[in-house]
Amino acid sequence: MSLLFETIKVQNKTLHNLEYHNERLNKSRKDLLGCTDFIDLREQISIPKDINNDVFKCRVLYSREIEQIQFIPYTLRQIRTIKIVECDTIEYYYKFVDRKILGNLMDSVETDDILIIKNGMVTDTSFSNIVFFDGTKWVTPDTPLLRGIKRTKLMKEKIIFEQSITKNGIQRFEKAALINAMVDIKDSPIIEIQNIF
């Protein structure tokens, strides 16, 4: 089985949203490997002294135990165009290091990213959950490939709301944004709906 990973935002030498990362890491270990112990990332991660206040991603590779912890300077990806691709067989319920199927789908297009449609329903892009603005509120598909930690947090805070979104339903929205552990709605480049095609 492929290693799993968590990507944790580090800014001002502070680890963000660790409770959500802890929850997902330990649920994945339990579901896939039968682990019943609890790994607390607060006890596992030490921020290096040479890191400044900029944004870094802390990448934690793990299986039964933590295998590796890396700190990598972070640059926000600029996404302007997204190609809709259909794949009814894709599964990515857990955050595996092996992302070959996502890589293959990305290799098939020339846009900045892809939006994956599974069985007619909107799921995720190649690296993030997606949210759409309907003129009143931000909504996210109720059929994601991966229930990201930022998605979970924003839903809990009632900043975004789940909704069934079909491929044909995308055009009723005004704009879209991409969210993940590193990127909040306010940080995401806004994507015009006509640039999702």
Q: What's the total number of domains in the chain?
A: 2
pLDDT digits (tens, 9 = 90+) for 17-58: 999 999 999 999 999 999 999 999 999 999 999 999 999 999
Q: Are 90 and 141 part of one and the same domain?
A: yes
- Please state, in angstroms and rounded to a whole number, the distance separating the CA atoms of residues 184 and 190: 11
Contact 132, 140 (CB under 8 A): yes
Single residue among 25, 49, 73 that ends a domain in this structure: 73
Q: Are 134 and 181 part of one and the same domain?
A: yes
Question: Mean pLDDT, the chain, as a whole number?
Answer: 97
Per DSSP, the residues of 54-65 read S-EEEEEEESSS
Q: Are 15 and 95 part of one and the same domain?
A: no
Q: Are 55 and 93 part of one and the same domain?
A: no
Query: Is pLDDT of 158 > 90?
Result: yes
Nearest in space to 140 (alpha carbons), one of 120, 154, 127, 157: 154
pLDDT digits (tens, 9 = 90+) for 110-136: 999 999 999 999 999 999 999 999 999
SS (H, E, C) 155-171: HHCCCEEEECCEHHHHH
Nearest in space to 132 (alpha carbons), one of 118, 151, 153: 151
Q: What local confidence, expressed as pLDDT, does residue 167 receive?
A: 98
Contact 121, 168 (CB under 8 A): no
Q: CATH number of the domain at 163, please.
A: 3.20.10.10
Q: Are 98 and 184 part of one and the same domain?
A: yes
Q: Are 158 and 182 part of one and the same domain?
A: yes
Q: Are 34 and 93 part of one and the same domain?
A: no
Q: What local confidence, expressed as pLDDT, does residue 114 receive?
A: 98
Q: What local confidence, expressed as pLDDT, does residue 82 receive?
A: 98
Q: What local confidence, expressed as pLDDT, does residue 14 receive?
A: 97
Domain carrying residue 19: 4-73
Q: What local confidence, expressed as pLDDT, does residue 1 receive?
A: 80
